[in-house]
Amino acid sequence: MKKVFITGGSGTVGSCFMEHNLKKYQITSYSRNEKAQVALKRRFPKVDILLGSVEDKFTLENALRSVKPDVLIHAAALKHVDTAEKQPIQVVQSNIIGSKNIIDLSVDINIPVTIGISTDKACNPNNLYGFSKKIMEKMFLEANNDKNLFCCTRFGNVAGSSGSVIPFWINCKKENKPLPLTSENMTRLMLDGKQVSSIIEKCILESENKKGGFILSKKMKKIYLKDLAQLISDNIKIVGLRPGEVLYEDLISIDEVEFTRVEGEYIFIDNHINQNLNSRLKNTLSSDNAELMMDDELRSLIKYVKNRMTDTLNY
């Protein structure tokens, strides 16, 4: 059984991967959040937990050498846009220096596959969080070599993740508070835990064919946050954009289209131009031009998040 080491493993991306892969891999979660790690262990007893930060290279190295993973999933990051705008030094420490520590140790310890978890905010970034993830993507692609494969995933908003809008709005509804909405025209790409896991699993599958040096994404649907809010509550208050926030977010930019390779529902962004025009994207992808989610799909997302919130409370 292959060993998978997940930084920030107690977060949403790590737990989504675990939900669908506990029988397939021996998994270690590495995170500085002790409370979340203990809750994760109660929920997934077979998962090993180690405390530590990716910023602390000494502790990170000891953890990686003790586990000797076959696959390293780098999900640890400072993820909140508004926090990043207020504390840029911490963003650099966590998202850039922490990612460089991952790269250095993956090569030194000779970890076969390292997967960086990126975001649609890294495409045409206009906030510090997005810029930090764009740099991480570039570093991972530069680090890729025949012996140590590096690749990244890039996807939109994960329903129910820490600080995400659905659980926040559900709690506002319970407390009889208005749901704050930045704009009626705001759109986002959103996906559930199963889709998140499938993108990471596809990266691991590609690595078995000795392929690295790419960013992997997937066709996703957009939501109008107004539509989502209205399915939760009628009490909505428009509050305006926060610092670094935009009305829609890109997934694949115009500059990246010629580097894309489409395989079914998956989209690869390679580090070389794809000469086969038939296998490329024909246009950019964003929450502005993506296919719209229907109400029943939005209700399914809300139900999914409510179930996750219940599971979290139980542990």
Whether residue 203 lies inside any domain: the answer is: yes
Tokens of 207: 């690595």
Whether residue 231 lies inside any domain: the answer is: no
Residues present in the chain in total? 315
Domain coverage including residue 277: 3-157+191-219+251-287
Whether residue 241 lies inside any domain: the answer is: no
Whether residue 238 lies inside any domain: the answer is: no
pLDDT tens figures, 210-252: 889 999 999 899 999 999 999 999 999 999 987 777 899 899 9
Mean pLDDT to the nearest integer, 166-193: 93
- Residue of 35, 41, 121, 134 marked active site: 121
CATH code at 104?
3.40.50.720
Q: Where is pLDDT greater, at 102 or 271?
A: 102
Tell me: pLDDT of 122 over 90.
yes
DSSP state of 291: P
Whether residue 62 lies inside any domain: the answer is: yes
Whether residue 232 lies inside any domain: the answer is: no
**Whole-prediction pTM value?**
0.93
Whether residue 298 lies inside any domain: the answer is: no
Q: How many domains does the chain have?
A: 1
Rounded-to-integer distance, Cα 178 and Cα 184, Å: 15
Crossing angle for the helix pair 128-143 and 98-109, nearest 10 degrees?
20
Radius of gyration of the chain from Cα atoms?
Answer: 19
Rounded-to-integer distance, Cα 118 and Cα 87, Å: 20
DSSP state of 292: B
Q: Are 308 and 160 in contact (CB under 8 A)?
A: yes
pLDDT tens figures, 3-19: 999 999 999 999 999 99
Rounded-to-integer distance, Cα 74 and Cα 150, Å: 11
The predicted pLDDT at position 278 comes to 95
Confidence of residue 312 (pLDDT cuts 50, 70, 90): low
The predicted pLDDT at position 314 comes to 58
The predicted pLDDT at position 315 comes to 53
Whether residue 315 lies inside any domain: the answer is: no
pLDDT tens figures, 273-305: 999 999 999 999 999 999 999 999 999 999 988
DSSP state of 122: G
Asked about 121 being catalytic, the answer comes back as yes
